[in-house]
Structure formats: C-alpha cells, structure tokens
Amino acid sequence: MKPKHSRLLNPGIGATKDLSLRVSVATLVRVLFENPKDGEVMLALERRATLYEAEAERVVEVKSQPFGGALRIYDLILLQSRIGDFHFDSEESRAEQDFRIFIRPSDWETVWQFCIQHFDDAVLESDPRRELTEEFAEALGISLKSDQYTCQAVGTIVENHPSPTDNFYARNTPTARIYRTFESRILDASLAKAVMTNSESNSDVNLRERAIKDAQGGGKGWANAALTLPLQRISAFYEETLPEARNRPVSFQSHQLDETVAAVLDHIAVPKYQRLGLGPPNYE
C-alpha cells in the first residue's frame, strides 16, 4: 500500500517547545525454532554492534534485541487530523514515514488509542514481515521466504514512562514506546541451521571490529548478526532476575540483552511495561 500524502501536510524534523515528547511505535518478534541438533527450542535475536561517541571517545556497544522495527504510518493525514501538528525525529524517519515522531505530551493518550484502533487495518503497517525480511538479509545474508516461517500477533505493550533512547538518530532523547508483539516460528530446518551457524560463527569481538571497519569505510558504524539462546534457559534466567532489574539491559552468558528481550516472553513481567488492557498512562 502506498502512503497517503497531502500538500497541506508538511511534518518538520526534531523536537520543539510544544512537540517535546518522542514516541516510537514498533514491532517486536519472538522468533523461535528447534535446534536441528537436538530439537531444543531456541530464541533468535538480532545482535547489533553500534559505534558512537561518548565523552570524547569512540565506543562500540554490542546489544541483542528481538527482531522487529518501527511501524510505517500509511495515512499521515488521518494521524494529523487526530493530533494536529507533529514532527518526525529524523530525515530518515520522515522519508520512510516511520512512526518515530515528536508530539505534544497532552496528545499521548490520543496517539496510544490511535495505534490500538488501527493496528489491524491499512492506516498503519503493523505486520512485521517486511522488517523480518530486511533484518534477516542484513544480519544473516539470508533471503527469507514466506513459506519458511509462521507469524502471528500475540499482544501489545506500552512503556509506562518515557526513557532515553539509544536510537542512532535520537540518542538519549526521552521516548514513550508502544510495541505490537508477534511470535514467529521457523519451519524450514535449513533456515534454522543457518541461523544457528550465523550465531556460532560471530562473536561480540568480531562484531565490534566490523562496526569500526564500517565507520572507517564511511558507513554508520554498524554490524549485525544473530544470537541464538535456549528458550528454557533464558526464561529461567529472567524468572530468577529481580523484576526491577528487568527494566534495564542485562548480561546473559556474556551477552548484553536489551530489556525488550524480557518483554517478548509473555510470562515475564517487566515493571516499566504495561500489557494491553491496563490502559495508557498520561504524560500531561
């Protein structure tokens, strides 16, 4: 579906005095598959190395998170009719019409309700298949086929309070988040084997080196790979972790895991997130 445009609609870029709350609406996908060697259920994550400047020095952070990404807003005019003016957080978000925008804090509840109302229609792109295909190509060099996996929506979660983002284009900007969560199961044994092989053949050290080389070559300083973890063991780890600690990235088997990893495990409570049905917070 092509996004709708209007000459009357001309969203700007960045925060203003009034448009001060950044909102990110994205998908998170719990990618599961059976280990071809022993049948154990595995959780596949995207492992990303990012180079950035911190206190006058270059730092490469390696963190793993669920596959997924920002939703696209197909009908900008309808969103504008509900909340008035808004800005995108970057030129890239505006070009892609990604749901990464700045709004008036008083419009937060309206935006939350807008998303819930339109998750399953043509106003928002809430299906994660495009992002999955792009991320598998980027991280694994694999051309994902629709008959190799299943994908279904399992819920929605919302962040209770804005917190700083590590997004490349808006780092440290306080952001309120809404996630549409999905479960994907890999059906193709050869694909499952390829994901395992990619995870085993890429170390965090290797990814750091690749991110540095990418920056030296004029890139953004990124490198991607997969990380596969036994679902039962990672679930047990989070069950034994204090609830408040789940609000932050944690270390598991020497890998840094984003807090959204716990969020896609339905039986694990993450205090800073609300599951659908508890009602949105108001940031006025």
238-267 pLDDT, tens digit each: 999 999 999 999 999 999 999 999 999 989
Can you list the positions of beta strands (E) in the chain? 12-13, 21-34, 41-54, 57-65, 72-73, 87-88, 100-103, 124-125, 149-159, 163-164, 174-186, 222-230, 250-252, 255-257, 273-275
Residue 198 within any structural domain of the chain:
yes
Q: What is the CA radius of gyration of the chain?
A: 19
Residue 39 within any structural domain of the chain:
yes
pLDDT of residue 281: 39
pLDDT of residue 214: 93
pTM of the full structure: 0.89
Residues 6+ apart with CB under 8 A from 113: 280
Residue 1 within any structural domain of the chain:
no
Domain that holds residue 23: 17-275
- How many structural domains is the chain composed of? 1
Residue 68 within any structural domain of the chain:
yes
CA distance 249 to 268: 15
Residue 10 within any structural domain of the chain:
no
> Under a CB-based contact definition with an 8 Å cutoff, are residues 176 and 108 in contact?
yes
pLDDT tens for residues 44-85?
999 999 998 766 678 899 999 999 999 999 999 999 999 999
Residue 2 within any structural domain of the chain:
no
pLDDT of residue 55: 66
Residue 282 within any structural domain of the chain:
no
Residue numbers in the chain where pLDDT is lower than 50: 1-8, 277-284
